Amino acid sequence: MRQLAYFNNLRITAKFILWFLFIALVPLIIATYISYSTSKKVLEKEVANSLLAVADDKANRVESYLHEKEKNVTTLSYMSDIVIAIEKFDKAFYAGGMNSPEYTAVDQEFRPFLAYYQKAYGYEDLVLIRPNGEAIFSVKKKEEQKSLYEIVLFNKNSELAKVFMRAKESSKTEISDFEYNPQTQKASAFIAAPVFRGADLVGVVILQMNNDGICELVKDYAGLGKTGETIIASKIGNDAVFIAPTRFDPNAAFTRKITIGSKEGLGIQKAVQGEEGSGTTIDCMGKETLGVWRNIPSFRLGMVVKMDTEEVITSARELRNTLLKIGLALLALITLLAAIIANSVSRPIKDLTAVAGVISGGDFSARVKSNTKDEIGELANSFNKMTDALVQAKANVELEKEKVEEQKVLLEKVNKELDAFVYTASHDLRAPLRGISSFASFLEEDYKSKLDEQGKDYLNEIRKGADRMNRLIEDLLKLSRVSRIKNPYEDVDINELISSITERIKFDITHNKVDLKIHENIPIVHCDRIKLGEVFLNLINNAIKFSSKNNKENPKVEVGYLDGGEFHKFYVKDNGIGIDPKYHSQIFGLFKRLHSSDEYEGTGAGLSIVKKVIDDHGGNIWIDSEVGKGAAFYFTIPKDLVEKKKIGEILVEDGLITEAELEEKLKKQKAKETGTPPDKIEV
C-alpha cells in the first residue's frame, strides 16, 4: 500500500515515464516470445512443407519405378515369343522332364532370348510357370528350378506362390511384397503376369527383382538437412519391416522392424496401415522428429520422411537470443526518449483533462486551447468539435422530445374528441330514428288497410331501413364503448368464458344443427373478460352465419388453442363460404361487408370491434381462408400482457424510444413469436 501511495503522489511526468517503460517492456517481452513462437512454427511449417514435397517426390519416384517394372512384365507377357516358349517348355517338360533331350533343345532355343530380357530389364531371374503351379523354366541354373517348383506348388505362404495365385485369379499383372532370403541375404519381390493364347491361360511369367532401385532412392538426402532420412517399410505380419537401409543404419533392411501398436515409430506404423499425415513423433531411435508419412497402396508399402526436431528449431533459438539482445538495447534507448517525450506530452494532457472535468460537470461552454498542429493539437480540436456536437445533439433531443410530447397530447385529444363525437352522434341519431320507427308503426296500425300494395312495400322498406339504421347505431355505440370503457384485467378461465358464450347462442347452434367443437384444457388468460367475450361471440356467430347457409354438409365450427411461446394463440374455424385472399386486409374495416344484407344479415362492424379489442390487448388478428374452403380466424394475446405494456410506456415516457419505434419493435417481435406474416401484423 505504501508503494502504491508513493506512486500516486508522483508527478505526471514521472508517472508517464514509468508507465511508458512498463508499456514498452511488456510488448517487448511479448514480441520476443511471439517472434520465437512464430518463427518456430514457421520453421516447422516450412520444414514440414519441404518434407511433404520430398515425401511426395519420393513416393512418386518409388511408384514410377515399381510401375515401370510392372509395365515391363506386362509387355513381356504379350509377346508371341513368350507364348510359344511357354507352350514348348510345357510340352517338353510334360513329355520327359527337365533332363530330357526335348527339354534341352527347347532350353537352348529360348534361353538366350529370355536371358536377354532378364538382363535388359535388370531383374535377378525370369521364371515360367505352368497354370498348375509347376515351374518349367528359370534363367538361373537348372538345379534351382526344383526349389522354385517346391516354392510355388507346396509353399503357399511364399511371396512367389502368393503373387502367382493372384495373377492367375485376377488375370492381370500383380506384384508381391518384398521378401528376405536369409540364405542369400537379399530382399526380393516378384512381378507376375498371366500369359494367354486367345482366352486360354497357357502359363504365368514371373520376374524377380531386388531392392537395389528403392535403396538408391532412399539414399537421396537432398532437402533433408543433417539428420533427415527416408524410411520405406512393408507390413509383414504384425510388424512394419524396413525394406531398405536408412541414413544412419545401413543394415536396417529386413533387420529393423517396429511392432504395430508400440509407442515408437508411429509415423511408419500409420503409413503401412494405409494412413497419411504429418506431425511430431518419437522415432525408433528414441528421438523426437518432425515427419511426413505416406502410403503407397499400389505396392502395399509405407514411407516416412523425417528430420530431428532439434535441427528444425535451431534457427528459431538463435533468433530468440538475438531478439533478447536487441530488446535490452532498445529498453535503454526507450528510457531516454520517454523522459524527453513525457514532458512535452504531459502538459497539454493535463489541460485537456481539466477541461474535460469542467464539461463533465455540466458546463458545455468550456473549450480546450491549443496552438500546436501535431496530434495533441488535433486531439484538442477534435475534443472541441465533439463538445459542440454534444451541445447540438442535446438541443436536438430536447426539441424532438417536445415535438413528440406535443404530438402525443394532440393525438390523445383528437382520439377523445372522436370518441365523444361518435358517442354523441349515435345518441342524437337514435331520437329521430325512434320517431321514424314509431310513426311507421302508427301508419301500419291505423292506415294499413287504406294503403295499396306499393304503399305497403314502401312502409316495409321504411321499417327495414330504420331497423338497419338502429343496428348500425348500436354497433357504433358498441365500438365507441370498446374505445372508451377500460375494464380491469383479470385472470379469466377461457373454457368457462366460451361455455357462457355458447349458452347465449344455444338457439342458433341448435336451429342450424351446428357441429361445434371446443378444445379442452385452454389455459387461464390475463385479459378483459367482457371484451374478450365479445371477440369469441362475434367470431363464433360469424362462423355459424357463413357456414349454415347454402352448405351441403352440416355447419362445422371449431374453437381451439395453440401455445405460441410468449403469446396465447386462439383460432375459430368453419367450413363456410370462405373469403377471397384479396379481401383479407379489408374485412376488419368499420362496416366493411362483402355481401348484401339480403344475403347475410349484419352491419359489418363485428370484425372491427374484434380487431379493436385484440389491439387493446397488444395482440394480433389475421385470417387464413380461400373461397369455398372455409375460414380460420387466428388471434393472439400476450402472456405477460401487463409487464410488456408497462415497459413500453416507460420507454416512451422517458424519451428513450418513440411510439413509432416501439410499434415497429412489437411488430417484429410478434411476427417472430407467432409466425404471423409481417404484412398482417398491426400493433
Range with top average pLDDT, 20-29, 340-349, 594-603:
20-29
**Contact assessment for residue 400 and residue 659, using Cβ atoms and an 8 Å cutoff:** no
Q: Residue 171 region, left (φ>0) first, then alpha (ψ -120 to 50), else beta?
A: left
Task: Supply the pLDDT for residue 203.
Answer: 93
Rounded Cα–Cα distance for residues 215 and 246 (Å): 9
CA distances from 624 to 112, 249, 524, 583, 621 (A): 96, 84, 25, 11, 10
Three-class DSSP labels, 479-503: HHHHHHCCCCCEEEEHHHHHHHHHH
pLDDT at 533 over 60: yes
Residue 622: φ, ψ to 5°: -150, 175
Q: Quick count: other Cβ atoms within 10 Å of Cβ 14?
A: 14
pLDDT at 577 over 60: yes
H or E element, residue 638: strand 631-638
The tens digit of pLDDT for each residue in 497-518 reads 998 888 888 888 888 888 889 8
Name the residue with cell 507364348: 83
Residue 240: φ, ψ to 5°: -95, 105
Rounded Cα–Cα distance for residues 643 and 639 (Å): 9
Name all domains of the chain by residue range, CATH numbers in brackets: 78-210 (3.30.450.20), 367-485 (1.10.287.130), 488-680 (3.30.565.10)
Rounded Cα–Cα distance for residues 130 and 86 (Å): 8
Exposed, middle or buried by CB within 10 Å (0-12, 13-18, 19+), for 307?
buried
Task: Supply the pLDDT for residue 194.
Answer: 95
Task: Supply the pLDDT for residue 654.
Answer: 47
Rounded Cα–Cα distance for residues 187 and 148 (Å): 16
Task: Supply the pLDDT for residue 650.
Answer: 46
H or E element, residue 28: helix 12-77
Q: Which neighbouring-strand residues pair with 190?
A: 208
Name the residue with cell 509415423: 267
The type of residue at 454 is Q
Residue 388: φ, ψ to 5°: -60, -45
Task: Supply the pLDDT for residue 473.
Answer: 63
**Average pLDDT in the 336-340 region?**
71
Task: Supply the pLDDT for residue 29.
Answer: 76
pLDDT at 580 over 50: yes
Rounded Cα–Cα distance for residues 138 and 128 (Å): 7
pLDDT at 79 over 70: yes
Compute the Cα dihedral for 580, 586, 587, 593 and give only its sign.
negative
pLDDT at 318 over 80: no
In 3D, which of 301, 247, 251, 252 has the Cα closest to residue 272? 301
Task: Supply the pLDDT for residue 11.
Answer: 64
Task: Supply the pLDDT for residue 178.
Answer: 81
Range with top average pLDDT, 173-182, 184-193, 557-566:
557-566
**Contact assessment for residue 536 and residue 518, using Cβ atoms and an 8 Å cutoff:** no
**Average pLDDT in the 74-90 region?**
90
**Contact assessment for residue 606 and residue 538, using Cβ atoms and an 8 Å cutoff:** yes
Helix axes 375-447, 314-360, angle to 10 degrees: 60
Q: What is the mean pLDDT of the chain?
A: 76
Q: Residue 185 region, left (φ>0) first, then alpha (ψ -120 to 50), else beta?
A: left
In 3D, which of 131, 128, 150, 158 has the Cα closest to residue 140? 128
Name the residue with cell 397488444: 618
The pTM of the whole model exceeds 0.75: no
CA distances from 185 to 180, 181, 188 (A): 7, 5, 10
The tens digit of pLDDT for each residue in 366-381 reads 777 766 666 667 777 7
Q: Quick count: other Cβ atoms within 10 Å of Cβ 522?
A: 18
pLDDT at 535 over 80: yes
pLDDT at 59 over 60: yes
Q: Which residue has the higher pLDDT, 436 or 64?
A: 64
Q: Spell out a b/e string for 217-235, using b for 16 or more CB atoms within 10 Å of the CB, else e.
A: bbeeeeebeebbbbbbbbb
Range with top average pLDDT, 43-57, 159-173, 183-197, 311-325:
159-173
Q: Quick count: other Cβ atoms within 10 Å of Cβ 309?
A: 19
The type of residue at 639 is K
pLDDT at 362 over 70: no
Task: Supply the pLDDT for residue 548.
Answer: 65
**Contact assessment for residue 258 and residue 264, using Cβ atoms and an 8 Å cutoff:** yes
Q: Which residue has the higher pLDDT, 56 or 190?
A: 190
Three-class DSSP labels, 446-473: HHHHHCCHHHHHHHHHHHHHHHHHHHHH
Rounded Cα–Cα distance for residues 10 and 422 (Å): 77
**Contact assessment for residue 617 and residue 528, using Cβ atoms and an 8 Å cutoff:** yes
Task: Supply the pLDDT for residue 467.
Answer: 62
Rounded Cα–Cα distance for residues 253 and 204 (Å): 29
**Average pLDDT in the 55-64 region?**
82
H or E element, residue 127: strand 125-129
Helix axes 80-96, 101-120, angle to 10 degrees: 150
**Average pLDDT in the 530-549 region?**
82
Task: Supply the pLDDT for residue 385.
Answer: 79
Helix (H, G, I), strand (E, B) or coil at 262: coil
Rounded Cα–Cα distance for residues 35 and 437 (Å): 100
**Contact assessment for residue 619 and residue 638, using Cβ atoms and an 8 Å cutoff:** yes
The tens digit of pLDDT for each residue in 211-226 reads 888 888 888 888 788 8
The tens digit of pLDDT for each residue in 441-485 reads 777 677 767 777 777 677 776 766 666 666 666 655 665 555 556
